Amino acid sequence: MLCNLIVWCGRRAKQDESLVKRIKVLLIMAKAQVLYDFTAEPGNKELSVREGETITLLDQTVGGGWIQVQNSSGQSGLVPEGYLQVVGDIIDSWSGAEAFTHTQQAAQDDGEWDDEWDQQSEGGYHVDGNGEEEGGASDRSTHTSSMKISLNKFSFAKGPSPEVFLLAQPLANRERLPVYMGEVGPVWLYPATPLHCVVADPKKESKLYGLKSFIEYQITPTTTSRPVNHRYKHFDWLYERLLEKFGSMVPIPPLPDKQVTGRFADDFIRMRMEQLQVWMTRMCRHPVVSLSDVFQFFLTYRDEKEWKAGKRKAERDEMVGPMIFSLIEPAAPELEPGDVEHICEQYSHFTKAMEDGIRELLNVGHTHWKRCTGPLPKEYQRIGRAFQTLSTVFSSSRYPGEDTLTDAMIAAGQTYEEIAQMVTQQPQKDLHFLMETNSEYRGLLGALPPITALHKAAGEKVKEAERLVCAGKINHTEKLSMKQRLSSMSYTLQAEMNHFHSNRIYDYNRVMQLYLQEQADFYQQIADKLRGALRQFTTL
């Protein structure tokens, strides 16, 4: 069992195609159980689901960490894949490792599964079999396979399984991820110069003589100042790699966008670019993620050959899932399991409370946005027009001395029309960043429950350790080792939460200031405009 769990991460094999297709169908129509409550963000095509609910998986190829599902009432929508556990009887009818090898192969044989991602198949044309020139077989398979893998992480038990790390053999000499005791408690080691990168210059590219087109973004890291080009599907590949490798300890936020239609509209491209920038910035700010081989490779590969080789290498990485904790070496005394449990509970509680707070802010922000871009400016416009209409009527009176009043009323009317325009444009200037930042944190928080669940499960395993010793399943040394490893996990969690908190304080301080500044400027501008209109009237 443990063996299987480790094995599936790297294996590749050729298999009977008809068998593969059967599995694919089974997996596509699979049922899944919901692991955590998820509340849909309005207007975002998401579906609210409750812990324990059984749902049908409609489309696992949506990407960005999202899956299209249908609930028992027939409502469908998107749910984060980390919140789902594929129901046992479908997966269990195949031995784990084999089943996943099969599905990876299935994806390899089906180019269009992958390509429908960010390419437009014009005129109903579909590329078949091996017709893809970019990235080769491994490239074509990545999305589908990694999607299955990340689902699979939670498919053998409720939540991820910590045994893989707790009972693993000590590692040979490899890279280490240091956790230090800082002023605020356990902290990661931060690089002296923070990494940053700029996502810019989206270009529509095409291949297969124009039959397929896609958008390529230019990403320039501060380290090399040399731009690399990436399509959305490459970001998604990176997301899957980071989720697989670091998802047990670092909340990897989903890629911010999952829109499939209208991909070539300028507004959409600008928005997606902005969101990719936000996502990349978040990853750059993480000391472990930003320094990782796969992330550096994504930012610095030199040509297609290097890209293909690097991809294959990253996909073969065995230091993924809970095994990542093997790299942790906390410079601190070992924690008692009780303390670990307590710390974990506290983070879970915080995560849940912040999720609730953000959900409410996003809800009211969404409502407010709709009002500010809909009925409110329409009213200001109508007020402005009503003033102007009255002014026109007045000027028809032929009564001498109307002019000062009618001119002033026209000006007042125009002022309200301008205010209407300002009101419509304002959310883009302030509410937008407030919403984006909170959406991003919602994504980060959404990636935390599997992490705390893993810690909780590890804690429970360690509690069982005594019984396992008695039953002769592990020896005393292994029990002590488990306890020490649990302590390492907990330091990691604390370092990660401290990273989260310091970033959060910085981000919320920044976004609140930006919001308040923009709002103050907005109201000041309206006040100034109204005073300008007022001056047009004769003093009484």
Residues that bind its own copies (CB under 8 A): 183-184, 346, 349-350, 353-354, 356-358, 360-361, 364-365, 367-368, 371, 375-376, 379, 382-383, 385-387, 389-390, 392-394, 396-402, 404-405, 408-409, 412, 498, 501-502, 504-505, 508-510, 512-513, 516-517, 519-524, 526-527, 530-531, 533-534, 537-538, 540
Contact assessment for residue 461 and residue 166, using Cβ atoms and an 8 Å cutoff:
yes
Least Å from the CB of residue 257 to its own copies: 24
- Within 13 Å and on the Cβ side, how many CA atoms surround 349? 6
User: Which two structure tokens, joined as six digits, stand for 344?
Assistant: 């974990």
As a whole number of angstroms, the distance between CA 110 and CA 121 comes to 15
CB of 439 to its own copies, least distance (A): 14
Which CB sits closer to its own copies, 338 or 374? 374
HSE on the CB side for 252, CA within 13 Å?
28
Burial of 507 (0-12, 13-18, 19+ CB in 10 A): middle
Shortest reach from residue 437's CB to its own copies, in Å: 11
Cβ distance to its own copies smaller for residue 265 or 527 = 527
257: nearest Cα among 241, 243, 239 = 239
Distance CA 494, CA 498 (A): 6
Neighbours of 278 (CB within 10 A): 19
Closest CB to its own copies among 47 and 372? 372
Element (H, E) at 387: helix 375-395
φ, ψ for residue 400 (rounded to 5)? Answer: -65, 150
Between 189 and 383, CB nearer to its own copies: 383
Note the maximum CA span of the chain.
108
**Cβ closer to its own copies: 165 or 380?**
380
Distances (CA, A) of 523 to 311, 371, 426, 517: 51, 17, 10, 10
CB of 153 to its own copies, least distance (A): 28
Min dist CB 370 to its own copies, Å, is: 10
Q: Least distance from C-beta 429 to its own copies, angstroms?
A: 14
Give 12 or 366: the residue with its C-beta nearer to its own copies.
366
Toward its own copies, which CB reaches closer, 10 or 374?
A: 374
Spatial CB neighbours of 177, under 8 Å, sequence gap ≥ 6 = 188, 189, 288, 324, 327, 328, 329, 492
Answer whether 511's CB lies under 8 Å from 278's CB: no
Neighbour-count burial of 151, counting CB atoms closer than 10 A to its CB (0-12 exposed, 13-18 middle, 19+ buried): buried
Nearest 10 degrees: Cα torsion 430, 217, 41, 515: -10
Q: Output 204 or 349, the one with its CB closest to its own copies.
A: 349
| Type and span of the H or E element at 176 | none
Distance in Å, CB of 399 to its own copies, minimum: 4
Least separation in angstroms between CB 447 and its own copies? 18
- In the complex, minimum distance from the CB of residue 46 to its own copies, in angstroms, rounded to a whole number: 19
Query: Quick one: 473 or 535, whose CB is closer to its own copies?
Result: 535
Give the shortest CB-318-to-its own copies separation in angstroms. Answer: 34
Q: Which of 80, 222, 61 is nearest to 148 (CA)?
A: 61
Identity of the residue, 120 or 391, whose beta carbon is nearer to its own copies in the bound complex:
391
